[in-house]
Structure 1
Amino acid sequence: MTIHAGGCHCGAIAFTLEGDIDTVIDCNCSICRRRGHLLAFFPRSALILKTPDADIASYTFNKHAIRHRFCPTCGIGPFGEGTHPKTGEATVAVNVRCLPDVDLASLTVIPYDGASL
């Protein structure tokens, strides 16, 4: 397993993520489309925050199923938290654009129609 260091633009949010990334989701829902997220999904336990949770802002909308986390200083949204719809497991969706060591050109990108949900 690879350990990635990630965070927001200004550095206020920092985390590590344990997991291999070769496939990402390009969701067309209203927030992902506007923010340009490329998402990789992991068990929530794979993401270790170095920033206190209270220092990370949250946003939910529609069904409030996903808690979109973002930096209150620079506005970057490095991850979202929710529950896997089939297993009920706590899940994190990491914006791989916030992982500097990931070669985006090497990833398989799968379109996802989140706008229809």
Structure 2
Amino acid sequence: MLYKGSCHCGKVAFEVEGELGMTVRCNCSICRRKGALLWAVPHETLNLVAWGDDLGRYTFGKAQIAHRFCRTCGMHPFAEDVSQGSGRTAYININCLEDIDLATIEVVEFDGRSA
């Protein structure tokens, strides 16, 4: 299924193809603060539709994940691992997807604080 998503102001927009099942609530210092529910997908299924100069990047700790955000509204629509080549993963914040009934989505807790 094709899902469409964006930041709050719409300057960062994307599409992602896949079957939305389980999501993860991570307790690392950034995910806990932004309240993200993350859906891990193969990076090649994420298609940026709009971003321009508005797509910011933030890394911390081991700098393995690039947390992406809109420089205009501050929303964090997705993150991505920074490795190169095949096998990369994108982490979609399902709170930024259109037409999702959050009550129907299974949420699993992940101890990112200890990872």
> TM-score, length-normalised on structure 1?
0.91
Contact 2:66 2:82 in 1 (8 A): no
Secondary structure of the equivalent of 2:80? Answer: strand
Q: Is 2:110 the counterpart of 1:112? A: yes
Query: Could you tell me how far 1:101 is from its partner in structure 2?
Result: 1.5
Q: Do the aligned partners of 2:11 and 2:51 also contact (CA within 8 Å) in 1?
A: no
Shift of 1:39: 0.2
The alignment covers a number of residue pairs equal to 113
**2:112 is the counterpart of 1:96:** no
Give the counterpart letter for 2:38 in structure 1.
L
Contact 1:22/1:106 (8 A) holds in 2: no
- Check 1:66–1:17 CA distance in 2 against 1; reply closer, same or farther (3 A cut): same
SS of match in other structure, 2:73: coil
Secondary structure of 1:6 counterpart: strand
Letter in 2 for 1:76: M
Question: Residue by residue, what CA displacement relative to the aligned partner does 1:16-64 show, whole Å, maximum 9, x if unpaired?
Answer: 0101112100000000000000000001111100124653100000000
Tell me which stretches of 4 or more aligned residues in structure 1 moved more than 3 Å: 52-55
CA RMSD of aligned residues (A): 1.5
Distance in 1 between residues matched to 2:108 and 2:51, nearest whole Å: 32
Identical-pair percentage: 45
Structure 1 stretches of 5 or more lacking a match?
none
- Letter of the aligned partner of 1:115 in structure 2? R
Per the alignment, in what secondary structure is the counterpart of residue 42 of structure 1? Answer: strand
TM-score w.r.t. structure 2 length? 0.93
Is contact 1:56-1:70 (8 Å) kept? yes
Measure the CA separation in 2 of the matches of 1:57 and 1:48.
Answer: 16
CA distance in structure 2 between the partners assigned to 1:78 and 1:63 by the alignment = 21
Structure 1 residues 74-89: aligned runs within 5 Å: 74-82=73-81, 89=87
